[in-house]
Structure 1
C-alpha cells in the first residue's frame, strides 16, 4: 500500500513538473513558430518581426485577421475566437519586447534602385501624390505610437507581398485605407526599389517607435491613430 502511494505521488510530481507555467510567453509559442523566437523573426524568409511594434498596430492587425480585412488561413484560425481584450493583451505583450534586430537581408542591389528606394522612403514623389514613408512611419522608420509600424528589419519578400496585397485588395485596413491608396499609385519598379532599400538598412540599437504622429498626416488614415 505504501509503495503504491509513493508511486502515485511520484507520477503526480512528474506530471506537475512537466506542465509548463501559464505565462504569456508560454501561450505565445504558436506565434513564435512562424515569427521567430520571442517574435523577433530573422533576416530570412517571409514572416515579419512583431517584437517591439506599437501595440496599437499589432492589435489592429490581429483584429483585421479575425474580421476578414487581412487574409492568412493560419492567422485567421488562431485568432478567430479571441476577444478584443485578449487580442490587445497579445499585442501589448509583443510590443514590450526590446530585442536585437538581425543583419540586413538585402545586399548587392543596384545603386540606382537603392537611390530610388531611399528617395521614395524619405521624400516621396509629390508629382504622383505619393507621400514619403517617413511622414507616417517616423523619420527613423521605426514606427510611431500608437499604431504606425516600423518598416526596418522586415524581409524584402514580406514587404513586396504586402504592397501587392494592398494593390489587389487582399489586404485592407480601417477606412480610409491610406496604404491602399499609396500602393496603387506606386509602380512595380517603385515598390521593388522601396522594399529593397528598406530591407538593406541596418537597424540601430534600441529602435523604439516615435512618441507621436505629426499634427497633420499627408493622407487621412483610418488605422493610424487607434
Structure 2
C-alpha cells in the first residue's frame, strides 16, 4: 500500500519510497531516515555530502574501512547502486537533536575549540574548519560535517585513523593529521565538537572557505576522505 500511495504522488515520491524500503538494512542501525543510531556508534547519514557517503561505501567495500557487517552488506552491490544510496541519504534533511550537556572541564573544551577553529602550528595541525567548512557542516562534494556526531563516534574515528583501521586513498591526509594528535587532544576536540549545536540550515558549503592569514597550508588529500 505504501508503494501504491507513493506512485500516486508522482515518480519522484515513488522513487524515494522505493529507496526507503531498499535501504532498511541501513536504517536498522543508522536510525530512521539515517538520523543516527541510538548508541553513539552509528553515525548520521542524512544530509551528508553524496560524494562523501559514496566514498565511505566504497571504502568499506574495498577494505579501506573495516566493519564486518558493512563489508558483507555492500559486497554484492554495484557501483551505480552505491551512488543511488549515497544520493538518497544526502537528500534527506530531518532535524538534528540538541547536543547533550557536556561534562568536560573548561580547559578541555577550550583546547578542543582551539584545535577545531585555529589548529596548532607547533604540532603542524590545521584547524578542522579549514577542510570541514567554516561552520563545520562539511564542504561539497565529499567532505563531511563534524557537528551532530557523538563524542564516542568522533573518538573512535580519530583512533581508527591513528591505528590504520580507517584510511583513505593516498595521499591520506586525515591519517597524517590524526597521528599528530595526543590522546588528550583527541578527547578534547571530540568533546568540543559533540557539545556544539548544529546550525540551521546545516548545508555543506559549496566550496572551501578562503583561509585566513596565519592558518597552516592545507594538506593534499586523496579522493576518499
Query: Which of the five TM-score ranges fits, normalised by the shorter chain?
Result: 0.7 to 0.9
Partner of 1:72: 67
Partner of 1:171: 166
* Matching of residues 2-81 of structure 1 within 5 Å: 23-41=18-36, 44-81=39-76
Task: Structure 1 unaligned segments of length 5 or more: list them.
Answer: 1-13
Q: Which has more radius of gyration?
A: 1
**SS of the counterpart of 1:149?**
coil
Partner of 1:6: none
Partner of 1:123: 118
Number of aligned residue pairs: give it: 208
Once the two structures are overlaid, the 10-residue window that deviates more, 31-40 or 41-50, is 41-50
| Contact 1:41-1:47 within 8 A present in 2 as well | yes
Question: Partners in 2 of 1:115 and 1:215 — Cα distance?
Answer: 24
Q: Which of residues 123, 141, 145 in structure 2 aligns to 1:146?
A: 141
Question: Partners in 1 of 2:202 and 2:181 — Cα distance?
Answer: 27
Which runs of structure 1 show a deviation greater than 3 angstroms over 4 or more consecutive aligned residues? 214-217
Question: Partners in 2 of 1:43 and 1:108 — Cα distance?
Answer: 19
Question: Partners in 1 of 2:201 and 2:94 — Cα distance?
Answer: 8
- 1:45 CA displacement: 2.3
In the superposition, the TM-score normalised over structure 2's length comes to 0.87
Partner of 2:91: 96
Which string of whole-angstrom CA distances, capped at 9 and with x for unpartnered residues, describes residues 172-192 of structure 1?
101101100000001000000
Cα RMSD of the aligned pairs, angstroms, is 2.0
- 1:214 CA displacement: 4.6
| Contact 1:71-1:170 within 8 A present in 2 as well | yes
**SS of the counterpart of 1:203?**
coil
Q: Which of residues 131, 142, 155 in structure 1 aligns to 2:150?
A: 155
In the superposition, the TM-score normalised over structure 1's length comes to 0.87
| Contact 2:34-2:44 within 8 A present in 1 as well | yes
Question: Partners in 2 of 1:165 and 1:106 — Cα distance?
Answer: 26
Question: Partners in 1 of 2:127 and 2:66 — Cα distance?
Answer: 27
